[in-house]
Amino acid sequence: MKADTVKKIDVKNEEQEVIGVWKMVWDNFKKNKLALFGLIIISILSLLVFIGPYISPYERDSVNLINAEQAPSLKHLLGTDELGRDYFTRILHGGQISLRVGLFSVGVSLILGILFGGLSGYYGGWIDNILMRFAEIIYSFPFLPLAITLSAIIGTRVSPQNKMYMVMLIIGVLRFPGLARMIRGQILTLREQEFMQAATALGLSDTRKIFRHLIPNTFAYIIVNATLGVAGAILSESSLSFLGLGVVPPIPTWGNMVTYATRSHVLKNMPWLWIPPGLCIFLAVMSINLIGDGLRDAIDPKSNR
């Protein structure tokens, strides 16, 4: 009975403390006006692109050649493209894909980064050597040249519908080494601390020690890194798609919609076809960067801004 109460109190304290850390982060975050501004913008954008397509009266791919290349009007907020598709609706769909690719490619990086960083930081020795050499090799290529090369090689075997997944994989794999290095560095210092001695004394397995005790202690850094990573991934996707080596039409993304501007009459006379998607990329990336910076400062008050 007595032991029970003690346990309960312990649990309660622990919970309070856990909430305490994140509450502190949130309190710090709230004070940062720029970060809040970013949060608001990305929330609005996300609502628009994830709910908007269901409200829009137009289909993403419904071709209407009689209506082609119309200027913006009340009926078509951003006009229509050369196949008469409502452009505003396509921007909403495109945004959904751009944001999804950004999120999922960071997901891929996270899985690889946690696995590589966790294992090489914990075990050290030859495992560390092999895993980190591998990461270093990927690191030693400039991003875009290798990405377009891979996209060209893999792309011929992938249908336009599945290009999106290919892009997620390419960006995720090419961007994971930075994350892996960061996690490894953190774990190298964490594993020498006393709580790890306690974990060893309790006889916990290596997997449990790595993934339940070490990795959770790096979450703060992982979250900041991943947030900024989403911004980077959205930029990378848009660049690849702009070059025609990422997600390709008929699937719209903000990146491949800016490609219209490479036709000189569109660039000159129909700015509503390429400026809005470009601005959307800029806004999305900027607001995510703001959130990432805000989180970093909230978590680590020692940082310079």
Which residues of this chain interact with other proteins, rule CB under 8 A?
A: 133, 136-137, 140-142, 144-146, 148-153, 156-157, 231, 235, 238-239, 242-245, 255, 258, 261, 267-268, 271, 274-275, 278-279, 281-282, 285-286, 289-290, 293, 304-305
The minimum distance between CB 223 and other proteins, in angstroms, equals 19
CA angle 79, 85, 86 (to 5 degrees): 45
**Nearer CB in complex with other proteins: 49/215:** 49
Cis peptide before 250 (omega within 30 of 0): yes
CB 106 within 8 A of CB 172: yes
Token pair, residue 108, equals 């891929």
**Nearer CB in complex with other proteins: 171/210:** 171
**Nearer CB in complex with other proteins: 231/251:** 231
The minimum distance between CB 290 and other proteins, in angstroms, equals 7
**Nearer CB in complex with other proteins: 210/227:** 227
**Nearer CB in complex with other proteins: 133/212:** 133
The minimum distance between CB 66 and other proteins, in angstroms, equals 29
Residue 206 Cα to chain centre, angstroms: 29
The minimum distance between CB 179 and other proteins, in angstroms, equals 18
The minimum distance between CB 88 and other proteins, in angstroms, equals 18
Token pair, residue 52, equals 């908007």
**Nearer CB in complex with other proteins: 149/207:** 149
**Nearer CB in complex with other proteins: 108/291:** 291
Burial 93-118 (b: 16+ CB within 10 A, else e): bbbbbbbbbbebbbbbbbebbbbbbb
The minimum distance between CB 259 and other proteins, in angstroms, equals 9
CA angle 162, 166, 172 (to 5 degrees): 145
The minimum distance between CB 180 and other proteins, in angstroms, equals 16
- At 199, which amino acid appears? A
Q: How far, in Å, CA of 202 to CA of 198, rounded?
A: 6
**Nearer CB in complex with other proteins: 120/238:** 238
